[in-house]
Structure 1
Amino acid sequence: MTPMNYDRWQRVTEWPLIIASAIFLVAYAWQVIADLSGPANVLAETLMWLTWGLFLLDYISNLILIGRERRWRWFYTHWFDLCVVVLPMLRPLRILRLVTLLSVLQRTAGTAIRGRISIYVGSASALLIFVAALAVLDTERGQPGANIETFGDALWWAFVTVTTVGYGDYTPVTELGRFIAVGLMIGGIALLGVVTATLASWIVERVAERDAEQDAATVGHIKSLETQLADMRGLLVEALGKER
């Protein structure tokens, strides 16, 4: 049997971690939206703890398999993986790895990158709003003075918060709820920045393509003029030769 290394571990655990993320998201959404209690709540909690255990195992295995020489560098450059373990709420973001499979549908390298970013941003936006709505509902529901008591209220709050509209009709009253709001606003601004950068990249590429077409046309015109001049020169030489 071939010994397990870091790269092979990444390939082997890719789909299991995606499935674990989906299970976590479904269990958490079920628990929050249905306001579970009794055996159903125990089942949802068990599923979430099991998925947390898988991500903890993945994180420890990565630290071990990366090798002693690269371990600290990997630790410093993989803060998201640490957050996945420390903050279980971020685990569903692993589902976004699925969008990399869609790159085969793109025709060129440039459009592949841009298309992947567009799909990633759209998926991340929807997932960010959904998870934030679940989190704030889970935090705010039943608290004194809270006005976010249903998933519809939480979803509306998440939409107006991530777009920085902030009507103020629904606001978190707990410290954790406000912390979630801050994270949602920062996430919305970051996603907007990605969209802006992608649009700017597209505009620059279009301008570059147009300049390239104009340059090609100019070169073609110059070559055509050179050909015509050569023909005229030939005719002139031939005419002078006949006169002599």
Structure 2
Amino acid sequence: MDEDGRLTGWEHRTELPLALASLVFLAMYAVLVLAQGLPAGWRDLCTAVLAAMWALFAADYGVRWRRSGQRLGFVRRHKLDTVVVLLPLLRPLRVVKVYEAVQRRRGQPRLALYARVIAYSGVTTMLLGFAGALAVYDRERGAPGTHMHTFGDALWWAAETLTTVGYGDVVPVTTGGRMIAVGLMACGLALLGAVTGSFSSWLIQVFSRQDDAGNGRGDGDGPPGR
């Protein structure tokens, strides 16, 4: 089997387990941020699970890098994967790879395929918004002049930011919070582009095939020859 085939096979086998691992990572991080009164032993356990999940993501990246045989070329061609392994909370952004696969697909449009991309993007947006709210709340609460007194405030801010509405009623005041805000803005634009681009591509293909079919019927119209 060639290097591309080995890499593709590995990614197919590990995609679901790593997706579940990312949910475990997010759950442990949420417990650490929201459960302030958690006993030290439980906090240590959550921290250990976080470290184990991150090690799993790093090991997956290392295996894919080795199987690709591209050395530094793998890092250049997989910038998103490199960012995700450094910041596991951004792992839901791998939906962009699904969108790219749809864009490269040729032939008859498949509503189910595009619908999966749109549904996956919606779930990804919610997970990313939740992760962003956790991260910014962890840095903003207790800061002088903070607007995020509760986790609900942070969720409201994340919804405003991801949808690019930005009412300005809740804003981060710390440097770390503002850096998270910039990242969340970029992610919101990317996910919105994935949804609208996928839906537009499907519509264009449908209308194009309908036009082709209509022209074909028009050429064949007319009374049969005698």
Match of 2:42 among 40, 43, 54: 40
Query: What's the CA shift for 1:205?
Result: 2.5
- Residues 136 and 172, structure 2, Cα contact 8 Å, conserved in 1: yes
Structure 1 partner of 2:54: 52
TM-score w.r.t. structure 1 length?
0.76
Change in Cα spacing, 1:56 to 1:31, as seen in structure 2 (3 Å) is: same
RMSD of aligned alpha carbons: 2.6
Aligned residue in 1 for 2:63:
61
The one-letter code sitting in structure 2 at the alignment partner of 1:19 is: L
Matched with 1:17 is 18
Residues paired across the two proteins, number: 212
Higher relative contact order (CA 8 A, sep 6+): 2
Aligned partners of 1:93 and 1:127 also within 8 Å: no
Would the alpha carbon gap of residues 133 and 170 (structure 1) be closer, same or farther in structure 2, given more than 3 Å must change? same
Aligned to 1:146, what secondary structure does the other structure show? Answer: coil
Mapped partners of 2:114, 2:92: distance in 1: 23
Q: Supply the AA of the counterpart residue of 1:55.
A: F
**Equivalent residue number for residue 110 of structure 1:** 110
1:77 deviation in Å? 0.9
**SS of structure 1 residue aligned to 2:145:** coil
Letter in 2 for 1:191: L
Aligned-partner residue type, residue 53 of structure 1:
A
The Cα offsets for residues 57-76 of structure 1, whole Å up to 9 and x where unpaired, read as 22222222333xx2222221
- Describe the superposition over 1:134-165 as per-residue Cα deviations: whole angstroms up to 9, x where unpaired: 11111111111112121111111111111222
> CA offset at residue 171 of structure 1?
0.7
**Kept in 1: contact 2:93–2:187 (CA 8 A):** no
Contact 2:109 2:202 in 1 (8 A): no
User: 1:9–1:199: structure 2 CA closer, same or farther, 3 Å change rule?
Assistant: closer
Distance 2:208 2:8 in 1: 38
Q: Relative to structure 1, is the Cα distance of residues 45 and 93 closer, same or farther in structure 2, using a 3 angstrom cutoff?
A: farther
State the alpha-carbon separation in 1 of the partners of residues 218 and 8 from structure 2: 50
SS in 1 for 2:110: helix
The question of whether the paired residues in 2 share the 8 Å contact of 1:24 and 1:92 is answered with no
Give distance in 2, aligned partners of 1:87 and 1:124. 15
Distance, in Å, in 1 between the alignment partners of 2:151 and 2:77 is 36
Superposed displacement of residue 7, structure 1: 4.5
**Structure 1 segments unaligned to the other structure (5+ residues):** 232-244
Matched-pair identity in %: 42
Q: Which amino acid aligns with 2:174?
A: T
